Amino acid sequence: MNELDYKMNLVIENYPIPLVRPFLYPLTNKILYPDLENKNKLYKIILENEQLNNIFQNDIFYEGTVLEKMEQLRKIKPNSEEYKKLYQEIIQVGEYKI
C-alpha cells in the first residue's frame, strides 16, 4: 500500500494546475515505513528462546546454506582462525576465481 500512497502523493504534489493543488492536499496519505527496531526485538526474542528457535529451524530449510554457516559463525569466538575463515566464506558467496 505504501507504493500506491507514494505515487498518489507524487501526482498531487506535481499536479500541473497550481491553483488546484491546495484542494488536492486532503487526499494525500501519510506513508508509514516499517520500524526496524521492532523487527530486531522480535529477532532477539526468537534467538533467546530456544524452543521458538527450534520451531523455526525445523520449518526452514537451511542445511548447506549460508544461513547454516551464519548460525555456526554466531557460536564461534570472533578472534579464532575458524571464525575468520568462515566469515570470508560467507561474504564471498557467488564469487569465483578468474
86 and 51 share one domain:
yes
In a domain, 96, yes or no: no
21 and 40 share one domain:
no
pLDDT digits (tens, 9 = 90+) for 59-95: 788 778 888 888 888 889 989 999 999 998 888 866 6
Q: Which domain holds residue 15?
A: 1-33
In a domain, 16, yes or no: yes
* pLDDT interval class at 37 (50, 70, 90): confident
Model confidence at 51: pLDDT above 70:
yes
**Portion of the chain with pLDDT greater than 70, in percent:** 93
40 and 81 share one domain:
yes
In sequence order, which residues have a C-beta less than 8 Å from that of residue 26 and are 6 or more positions away?
Answer: none
How far apart (Å, rounded) are the C-alpha atoms in residues 79 and 77?
6
42 and 29 share one domain:
no
Domain count, the chain: 2
In a domain, 43, yes or no: yes
Q: How far apart are the first and last CA of the chain?
A: 44
In sequence order, which residues have a C-beta less than 8 Å from that of residue 72 and are 6 or more positions away?
Answer: 86
56 and 87 share one domain:
yes
48 and 29 share one domain:
no
pLDDT of residue 61: 80
